[in-house]
Structure 1
Amino acid sequence: MADSSSSSSIDKGGAFPHVLRIYFIPFPSPGHIIPMVDIAKLFAERGADATVVLTPLNVTRFSGTVTRAAAAGNRIYLYVLPFPSTAGLPDGCESTDALPSRSLSGPFARALDLLRDSFDSVIRDHRPDAIVSDVFLPWTSAAAAELGVPRYAFTGTGCFALSVERSLQVNRPQGWASSDSDPRLVPGLPDRVYLTRSRLAEATLPGSTAHEILDRLREADRSTAAWVVNTFPELEPGYLEHYERVTGKRVFAVGPVSLCNRAAADASERGRGAAAAGEAARILTWLDSKQAGSVIYVCFGSLSRFPAAQMKEIGMGLEESRVPFLWVFGETAATAEETAELDEWMEGMEGRVGERGMVVRGWAPQLAALGHEAVGGFMTHCGWGAVAEAAAAGVPALTWPLFADQFYNEALVVGVVGTGVAVGAAEGFVWGEEEKAGVVVGKARIAARVAWLMGRAASGGSGREEAEGIRRRAREMGEMARRAVAPGGSSYLAVGRMMEDIGPRNGQSAAAGSRDGDLGN
């Protein structure tokens, strides 16, 4: 670990007093760390001194992109915070995707709480001008308040889902229809949004064990200076302003942050580091052999698991669709016997589809894949990072939400902005109990929706026009995303305005931290 005055980008947290110094601390999960590192890069590009606080395992995943950003002349660093040992948590479990079982969620949460003392020391010793903390680390609020350092909260999701969640907190689901399939209006939103009980986040439902942590988050939010959101106005029309009104706090919409990864290495290694370069090259070479817009990319995120029977239905649906596909085959919620049977079936399926399909086990360079001209559709779980990345790439979505805020994000993509179509999942899975769900969507439905979205369906007329309309709106969304992050765009200006907001809170001139002098006035 080197001092910040050296050329190394891994740092003990030294200061550059003539610029704004911002510390970023993400929740240790891929869907949170990845965009937070991107946000730190955005602020560093504008002249801020940006330090990302990570544990050792996560440093190995992001040191490459931070080193490249520093080599380009940006003041960006990694502060290595030791991960605490706690009973019941194996070594190396420093991220949610490294947990071998959901049963370890409790020890993992306790370990995160133990990070507070170390983090307090970092902030006390280095006195940054602000911290940007994940909302799921509520103890950062107390540390910041005690030391008079403003805390900006990174939400991890979009303003639409946040608005839905807030409405549900006020209008408790106990009063909703007892039937899981009876749609009910979510009150108080700019649009008429209907959800069924089966589509509500697990934490919202009566009897959830998450109410205690939700209360801690709400308490921490009271001292939050403002929200930092990976979004842009066109992706969530009206919801940035709505969330500002209902919370009384500003929203700095700085996304889609994935577009800051302009270097090929940053896009292909994002979230995994240089160790993934070989696999990324293999996948991109396969995509190079496909026609423009012909491939559907299928990925359900780092935390999703399907029962073996549902995985087989996905494979059969992709095979029967006749559409070229890139399928990121994740973990299964299955017994050893079920897994062995599925693996044997998968080998046969891969042999039958040949070069038309590619099955990738574990991880794929999602940002690079979505940006490849061969990819014309994205079957996704609707995690917010995936939604924002699809929007940035101008790729239409085939939505298949599983849990948490994902059904809310589907309602935005399908019902509000019209850049996707639902695969037809009427209910999700309980994380950690996926094996109980069985088959939610059958192969025939999967094949039909894939072919329809990709323009391969036999039907014509209005159906063909509707699919083309979705693809066109997705392309338009991608153009709006690129304009948002370009100089003078809404997200570019939001970064400058947040720097302006930080400066006076610490009695400093924000203009000193602007590389180009444009802070968005």
Structure 2
Amino acid sequence: MSISKQPLISASPSGLRIYFVPLPSPGHVIPMIDIAKIFTKHGAECTLIMTPLNAARYESNIHRSGLHLVTFQFPSDTGLPVGCESADLLPSRKLFGHFRRVVDLLEQPFRELLRVNPPDAVVSDSFLLWTAVASAELNIPRYSFPVVSCFALSVERNLLFHRPQQNVTSDLDLFLVPGLPDQIYLTKCQLSETTLPDEKLIEFFERALEAEKATTGWVVNTFYELESPYIKHCERVTGKPVFHIGPVCLSGVSKEEIAERGHGKELAAVSERLLRWLDGRPAFSVVYVSFGSVSWLPKAQLKEIGFGLVESGVPFIWVVGGGDESDDVADEVSAIAGDAGQVVKGWAPQLAILGHISVGTFLTHCGWGAVTEATAVGKMMLTWPLFADQFYNEKFVVQVAEIGESMGAERGYIWGEEERTGVLLNRERVAEKVRWSLGPGAESMRKRAWEIGIEARKGGGKGGSSYESVECMMEDIRKHRGQRTEAGVHGETGDQH
């Protein structure tokens, strides 16, 4: 493993240098880049730490934004196929637990970087527990980016502490999650620990609680107007400040940044084709459908979705993950839909599509990044969670924020065992819900989502809640730097500023 030779010279107006360390997975890397861009705009010098393949995937977005980059070689001879440096490239979902443990091997070069070139702060993915320990040993403040919402953090924490799921016998029996600002009911089959059956998952959550002790605060992709009760709840139960700086997708303001977000210029033709198609559709008439970058659905379920969209009679853009079986379904549905629908294989410019005036509804898996993108542009959601924290997010969107309608899936897919579960919702349900979401019955929900979008955009502007939260975190970093300077922490390495 090696560290790139790119120099790290502080030239930022604020004098603050921050390292950003994402988990190698699109749903984690993309918002981390957005966060780094936000702090750059506030005057910090921001450096992303990635592996070569991930750096190449997001290179144009990184360099356009004035971000610095350090690369660590991805560990080799670990049992993973060559080139699998990102979770979405794994040939089997069952390899994710092993993948996460291989990523932990990046701890040593990270420690070396901190020793040779210490920053003023580290912002790292909550999955990367070793970044908390390594930073604390050098008295460098580490801020944890959990990827999820404050609501999901609160739910997961209370499930771990109180274990109410142990008091029910059936996987479909509802139980109350105690200690939350709202009455939230879940079932066993909707829990992260059920849909992500890594035998070490509970152990990981327990280690994460231990790592909290070495964590300075939380950096969360949310905004005060959306999640204020749960922001306060997280601060109260963890004893750590929550810096709510979202929606982070609003960090890119140019059309190029928005169109290339999450990818590069090589797919510009896809963006142009889809946006041109949307230009020819009436306002709020299109449903956009995507289940995220790492979701996998059985072929039978893909068919029900595709034919349900066609039968709805609603214009649609449907993003289908890559793979031989999904390609077959995509081709079949595309041929039947004709110009009434656009079926996209692999990647689409999600934020640009959601922000287009022709899109009225987003059918989503409820990954938190997708939820914040919908709120940023004021679009209501049809929720269809599949695994991990997604059922928690559905509860928030439907019950708390009231900006979405559930598709009605009672259970998700167990990670790596999707084919065994088969079809969860049929084409009739898909067609019915899609039609409803763009009709008069959903008008009040669409209006509320639009109003939330206005609040989201205000929050990121100067003087807004998210803007001020970034400033508060910058001040917190300065405070810690002052304390370290007084204590002479840098020692023989000297002050880097």
3-state SS in 1 of match to 2:49:
strand
Distance 1:27 1:482, change over 3 A: same
Are the aligned partners of 2:141 and 2:215 in contact in 1 as well (CA < 8 Å)? yes
Q: Does 1:500 align with 2:475?
A: yes
Amino acid at match of 2:467: Y
Question: 2:420 matched to which residue of 1?
Answer: 436
3-state SS in 2 of match to 1:398:
strand
Are the aligned partners of 2:320 and 2:330 in contact in 1 as well (CA < 8 Å)? no
Distance 1:343 1:68, change over 3 A: closer
The CA deviation string for residues 115-163 of structure 1, in whole angstroms up to 9 with x for no partner, is: 0110111111111011001110000111101111011101100000110
Q: Does 1:59 align with 2:55?
A: yes
Are the aligned partners of 2:197 and 2:415 in contact in 1 as well (CA < 8 Å)? no
Q: What 5-or-longer segments of structure 1 have no aligned partner? A: 5-9, 71-75, 456-463, 511-521
Question: 2:488 matched to which residue of 1?
Answer: none
Counterpart pick for 2:9 among 11, 14, 18: 14
Using the alignment, how far apart are the partners of 2:368 and 2:438 within structure 1?
Answer: 22
The CA deviation string for residues 213-257 of structure 1, in whole angstroms up to 9 with x for no partner, is: 222222211110000000002222411001111111100000001
Question: 1:357 matched to which residue of 2?
Answer: 341
Question: 1:303 matched to which residue of 2?
Answer: 294
Question: 1:33 matched to which residue of 2?
Answer: 29
Distance 1:278 1:344, change over 3 A: closer
Normalised TM-score (structure 1) = 0.89
Using the alignment, how far apart are the partners of 1:399 and 1:207 within structure 2?
Answer: 25
Using the alignment, how far apart are the partners of 2:357 and 2:124 within structure 1?
Answer: 35
Are the aligned partners of 1:88 and 1:104 in contact in 2 as well (CA < 8 Å)? no
> Aligned runs of 1:64-213 on 2, under 5 Å?
64-70=60-66, 76-202=67-193, 208-213=199-204
Deviation at 1:205, TM superposition (A): 9.1
Using the alignment, how far apart are the partners of 2:449 and 2:180 within structure 1?
Answer: 23
Counterpart pick for 2:252 among 242, 256, 261: 261
Deviation at 1:331, TM superposition (A): 4.4
Q: What 5-or-longer segments of structure 2 have no aligned partner? A: 486-497
Are the aligned partners of 2:309 and 2:316 in contact in 1 as well (CA < 8 Å)? yes
The CA deviation string for residues 383-412 of structure 1, in whole angstroms up to 9 with x for no partner, is: 000000000010110000000000000000
The CA deviation string for residues 412-464 of structure 1, in whole angstroms up to 9 with x for no partner, is: 00001110000110000011110011110111111100000011xxxxxxxx3
Deviation at 1:54, TM superposition (A): 1.1
Are the aligned partners of 2:196 and 2:415 in contact in 1 as well (CA < 8 Å)? no
Deviation at 1:101, TM superposition (A): 1.4
Question: 2:392 matched to which residue of 1?
Answer: 408
Are the aligned partners of 1:203 and 1:210 in contact in 2 as well (CA < 8 Å)? no
Q: Does 1:481 align with 2:456?
A: yes
Deviation at 1:206, TM superposition (A): 9.5
3-state SS in 2 of match to 1:83:
coil
Are the aligned partners of 2:75 and 2:106 in contact in 1 as well (CA < 8 Å)? yes
Using the alignment, how far apart are the partners of 1:297 and 1:396 within structure 2?
Answer: 11
> Aligned runs of 1:340-419 on 2, under 5 Å?
346-419=330-403
Using the alignment, how far apart are the partners of 1:205 and 1:344 within structure 2?
Answer: 28
Counterpart pick for 1:422 among 398, 406, 416: 406
Q: Does 1:46 align with 2:37?
A: no
Name the count of aligned residue pairs: 482
3-state SS in 1 of match to 2:234:
helix
Deviation at 1:33, TM superposition (A): 0.8
Are the aligned partners of 2:247 and 2:372 in contact in 1 as well (CA < 8 Å)? yes
Distance 1:253 1:231, change over 3 A: same
Deviation at 1:283, TM superposition (A): 1.7
Distance 1:147 1:294, change over 3 A: same
Using the alignment, how far apart are the partners of 1:372 and 1:57 within structure 2?
Answer: 31
Deviation at 1:172, TM superposition (A): 1.1
Distance 1:102 1:12, change over 3 A: farther
Are the aligned partners of 2:165 and 2:175 in contact in 1 as well (CA < 8 Å)? no
Amino acid at match of 2:287: I
Distance 1:225 1:346, change over 3 A: closer
Amino acid at match of 2:58: F
* Percent of matched pairs sharing the same residue: 52
Deviation at 1:275, TM superposition (A): 1.8
Q: CA RMSD, aligned part only?
A: 2.2
Using the alignment, how far apart are the partners of 1:201 and 1:105 within structure 2?
Answer: 14
3-state SS in 2 of match to 1:323:
coil
Using the alignment, how far apart are the partners of 2:349 and 2:277 within structure 1?
Answer: 13
Using the alignment, how far apart are the partners of 1:496 and 1:383 within structure 2?
Answer: 27
Amino acid at match of 1:395: K
The CA deviation string for residues 93-132 of structure 1, in whole angstroms up to 9 with x for no partner, is: 1110111112433442232111011011111111101100
Deviates most, 230-239 or 150-159: 230-239
Are the aligned partners of 1:193 and 1:411 in contact in 2 as well (CA < 8 Å)? yes
Distance 1:204 1:94, change over 3 A: closer
Using the alignment, how far apart are the partners of 1:205 and 1:31 within structure 2?
Answer: 16
3-state SS in 2 of match to 1:379:
strand
Deviation at 1:509, TM superposition (A): 12
Normalised TM-score (structure 2) = 0.93
Amino acid at match of 1:292: A
The CA deviation string for residues 173-230 of structure 1, in whole angstroms up to 9 with x for no partner, is: 4523112222221111101111122211126999943122222222211110000000
Using the alignment, how far apart are the partners of 1:171 and 1:344 within structure 2?
Answer: 46
